[in-house]
């Protein structure tokens, strides 16, 4: 059992917004489709739901074509549950009636039992008699999730489902949603533009960039081995520095970094992405040209954020221990390779 996208391309007018998208979402896993706004995530989800007509490629569920040339299963006949950012519950139905709504095949007592257990699963067991306008945004989103899960669809598709929920409630909602979705055992695809959310929710992350899937891996893999600049730039608050390739190293405004530079020739411009927690600082008494100067220090509770300036560029360092470093000090910057990534420069 799997949901398979094969060479799916899509145009709106002259714009190609999906470019030969190929990947597979597996059952029992949560796959997060992660990408910047406009990268094509919603379009891909709408194609899978049958809300948009497929133009090229195909989408298969368990090997059967859901959408492809000449074939398209109507949205209402797809074994798919949908949850969107803006949830529309029936205002004159209680939470329980909303969840029971899609359970046509069951008799009324069964519908109540199944709806109640789905409300329980999203932590709203006590709220079954409440009307939507007496529930918070986050609670309404939970009802919507329970309603989509109730008919036990083989596929759950969620598009930015937590985007309108208060930041403080979002974490608890994500955890409950992940539990309920995993327990369903089906295939789940969740769209998000938030890398942190993808890390918290996903078993696998499919990263989209300008209509292309650029990497599909576990959170651990995309974090530690990003497949390119677009992926590296998403995680760990990576910042961009311009570098120059040399033999066996890269030079930046903050000095040299040992690097194999296999795909570049000396003198090439390269993109260097650095995570703040990969930056180490050392105070120096006699600064050289490549040393920086501490511009500002912010205390963040468990760490310090130190802004270092050198040759007109600013670098953020996240360090646990200040080691007596003060604003105005000259410092040598060391970049740890586990959180630094170098790519041949791209245009723009």
Residues in contact with Mg ion by the rule CB under 5 A:
42
Helix extents (H) in the chain? 41-49, 95-100, 108-121, 137-149, 167-184, 195-201, 219-224, 229-232
For ligand ADP, the binding residue among 1, 7, 38, 218 (CB under 6 A) is 38
Told to check if 204 binds ligand ADP by CB under 6 A, we report: no
38 binds, among ligand ADP, Mg ion, none (CB under 5 to 8 A by kind): ligand ADP
Is the Cβ of residue 42 or residue 140 nearer to ligand ADP in the bound state? Answer: 42
Told to check if 86 binds ligand ADP by CB under 6 A, we report: no
Told to check if 192 binds ligand ADP by CB under 6 A, we report: no
What is the four-CA torsion angle of 259, 263, 268, 270, rounded to 10 degrees? -60
Is the Cβ of residue 39 or residue 310 nearer to ligand ADP in the bound state? Answer: 39
Query: How far is residue 243 from each of residues 167, 235, 247, 273, measured CA to CA in Å?
Result: 37, 20, 13, 10
Is the Cβ of residue 41 or residue 275 nearer to ligand ADP in the bound state? Answer: 41
Instruction: Single out the segment in contact with ligand ADP by CB under 6 A; choices: 31-39, 66-74, 118-126, 146-154.
Output: 31-39
Told to check if 90 binds ligand ADP by CB under 6 A, we report: no
For ligand ADP, the binding residue among 3, 8, 25, 39 (CB under 6 A) is 39
| Angle subtended at Cα 156 by Cα 151 and Cα 157, rounded to the nearest 5 degrees | 135
Is the Cβ of residue 42 or residue 318 nearer to Mg ion in the bound state? Answer: 42
8 A C-beta contact, residue 83 and residue 77:
no
Query: How far is residue 291 from each of residues 115, 271, 325, measured CA to CA in Å?
Result: 64, 20, 14
Told to check if 43 binds ligand ADP by CB under 6 A, we report: yes
* CB neighbour list of residue 224: distance below 8 Å, 6 or more residues apart: 338
Q: Binding residues for ligand ADP, per CB under 6 A?
A: 12, 17, 35, 37-43
């Amino acid at each position: 059992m799997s949901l398979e996208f094969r060479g799916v391309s899509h145009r709106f007018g002259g714009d190609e917004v999906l470019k030969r998208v190929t990947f597979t979402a597996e059952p029992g896993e949560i796959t997060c489709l992660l990408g910047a706004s406009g990268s094509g995530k919603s379009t891909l989800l709408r194609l899978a739901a049958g809300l948009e007509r497929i133009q090229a490629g195909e989408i298969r569920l368990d090997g059967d074509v859901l959408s492809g040339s000449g074939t398209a299963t109507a949205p209402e006949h797809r074994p798919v549950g949908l949850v969107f950012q803006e949830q529309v519950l029936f205002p004159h139905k209680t939470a329980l009636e909303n969840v029971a709504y899609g359970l046509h095949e069951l008799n009324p007592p069964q519908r109540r039992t199944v709806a109640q257990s789905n409300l329980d699963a999203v932590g709203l067991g006590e709220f079954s008699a409440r009307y939507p306008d007496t529930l918070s945004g986050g609670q309404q989103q939970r009802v919507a999730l329970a309603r989509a899960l109730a008919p036990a669809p083989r596929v759950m598709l969620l598009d930015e489902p937590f985007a309108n929920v208060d930041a403080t409630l979002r974490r608890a909602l994500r955890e409950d949603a992940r539990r309920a979705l995993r327990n369903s055992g089906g295939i789940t695809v969740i769209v998000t533009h938030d890398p942190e959310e993808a890390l918290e929710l996903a078993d696998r992350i499919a990263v989209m960039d300008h209509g292309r899937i650029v990497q599909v891996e576990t959170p651990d893999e995309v974090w530690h081995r990003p497949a390119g600049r677009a992926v590296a730039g998403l995680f760990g608050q990576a910042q961009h520095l311009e570098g120059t390739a040399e033999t066996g190293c890269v030079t930046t405004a903050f000095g040299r970094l040992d690097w194999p530079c296999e795909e570049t020739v000396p003198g090439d411009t390269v993109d260097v992405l650095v995570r703040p927690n990969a930056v180490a600082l050392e105070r120096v008494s006699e600064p050289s040209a490549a040393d920086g100067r501490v511009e500002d220090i912010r205390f963040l509770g468990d760490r310090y954020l130190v802004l270092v300036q050198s040759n007109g560029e600013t670098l953020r360092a996240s360090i646990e221990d200040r080691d007596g470093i003060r604003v105005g000090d000259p410092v040598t910057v060391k970049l740890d390779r586990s959180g630094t990534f170098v790519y041949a420069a791209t245009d723009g």
